[in-house]
Amino acid sequence: MPNGIGVWGGALYWPSQGFPLALDIMDYFGFDKSTAQVPVEQIFWPMFEPATLEETAEYVVYTDVDGVKRRFQRDEGVIPNALDWPIKDWDSWNRIKEERLRLDQVRQRFPANWAEWVQAYKTRDYPLAVGGYPCGFFGTLVHLIGYENVFLKYYDAPDLVHDILDHFTTLWIAIWEEILADVEVDCCHIWEDMSSTKGVMISKKIFNTFMAPCYRRVTDFLKGKGVKTILVDTDGNCESLIPWLLDVGVTGLYPMEVSAGMDVVKARKQYPQLQLMGGIPKYDMALGKARIDEFLEPVGWLLEQGGYVPFGDHLISPGVSWEQFRYYRETLNALIDSKGQV
């Protein structure tokens, strides 16, 4: 694996965000098979044609498949930063809606060998998911409009925000309806990243006005189709979000970042029905065996309660040595074997 490439450990769904699976690590520790994401395009169809706009020894500026203009730093292990976004106003939105978000072209989003996928899913031994990055009622907006622009449009162009969210909600339900006609799906992932280390980026009023109606449409639809697990991915401190999301039908959250103040034991006691994933402090693995034993101590109790999947609260830091990670994972495996619920 080239230096600087992030790898996916298998705890969530795959494929996601271009990260390859760390199959060698997964095999070494005997991980369960990763959740598979149904290979149907859920944002733009057809996608934008990628194009290189500027190239130097330090960076590449390009237009991506989602129409976002990004700059990639050649020698730094950072996520490419967005410079411009495809949705700016009613004109750009209406053009994209007509060209790339048509409701009468849903089946064109499916792979040509969809029948082979359907047949393979019938005998699968892994979970299957719809949704995932970048499908969300905050996440998709910031992905295609930009964070600062979204915050302004909540107030300056609320009708536009409503139309975007209503259309994506209708589109996703239409796509999932077609998928569920052919295969059984185990869960839905909704990507938001609407929390920072200090708390939620939006108010409850904004959530209730713009997002809650869409969440209810999606969760009602999915549960009516037998998909009972609906998980939201939001980094940072999402403590105040928990009751909002439970109220609109979400069943679980992750990654529960400890460095942002999240406490999975506290969340489990306060919300016994909430499904939880993550909650293990990734940075603290580098502090050695004593600290690893300390932060794993409550994991046994959480596993006994059920509804909890333990893993590092984001991608594991390169500051964690192989010896430290191996000790952490072998200790965690022993806890899962002795305390975990089937």
Q: Give the model confidence (pLDDT) of 213-231 as tens digits.
A: 999 999 999 999 999 999 9
Q: Is 253 helix (H, G, I), strand (E, B) or coil?
A: strand
Return the structure tokens found at 272. Answer: 């016994």
Q: What are the distances in angstroms from CA 57 to CA 68, 72, 169, 287?
A: 22, 11, 42, 37
Stretch 123-149: mean pLDDT: 97
What does 161-211 look like in DSSP terms, one character per residue? HHHHHHHHHHHHHHHHHHHHHHS---EEEEE---EETTEESS-HHHIIIII
Kindly tell me if the per-residue pLDDT of 206 is higher than 70: yes
Q: Considering only CA atoms, which of 246, 243, 250 is closest in space to residue 223?
A: 250
The residue length of the chain stands at: 342
Q: Give the model confidence (pLDDT) of 266-300 as tens digits.
A: 999 999 999 999 999 999 999 999 999 999 999 99
d(CA 259, CA 243): 21
Residue 16 is predicted with a pLDDT of: 84
Return the structure tokens found at 255. Answer: 């990654």
What does 267-287 look like in DSSP terms, one character per residue? HHHH-TT-EEE--B-TGGGGG
Kindly tell me if the per-residue pLDDT of 1 is higher than 70: no
* CA quadruple 154, 96, 145, 223: dihedral sign: positive
Return the structure tokens found at 85. Answer: 């976004």
Q: Which amino acid is at 173?
A: I
Q: Is 75 helix (H, G, I), strand (E, B) or coil?
A: coil
* Minimum mean pLDDT range among 14-18, 130-134, 235-239, 272-276: 14-18
Residue 4 is predicted with a pLDDT of: 62
pTM: 0.95
DSSP designation for 259: G
Residue 2 is predicted with a pLDDT of: 54
d(CA 174, CA 95): 20
Sketch out the chain's domains with CATH numbers. Answer: 13-339 (3.20.20.210)
User: Is there a cis peptide before residue 134, judged by omega within 30 degrees of 0?
Assistant: yes
Q: What whole-number percentage of the chain has pLDDT above 70?
A: 98
DSSP designation for 236: S
Stretch 324-341: mean pLDDT: 95
d(CA 137, CA 192): 7
Residue 111 is predicted with a pLDDT of: 98
Which helix (H) or strand (E) covers residue 246, if one does? helix 241-247
Residue 342 is predicted with a pLDDT of: 64
* Minimum mean pLDDT range among 36-50, 71-85, 148-162, 328-342: 71-85
Stretch 223-245: mean pLDDT: 97
Stretch 25-46: mean pLDDT: 95
How far is the first Cα of the chain from the last one, in angstroms, to the nearest whole number?
Answer: 34
Decide if 257 contacts 215 (C-beta within 8 A).
Answer: no
d(CA 197, CA 283): 15
Q: Give the model confidence (pLDDT) of 72-81 as tens digits.
A: 998 866 788 9
Residue 256 is predicted with a pLDDT of: 97
Contacts of 199 by beta carbon, 8 Å cutoff, 6+ apart: 236, 237, 239, 240
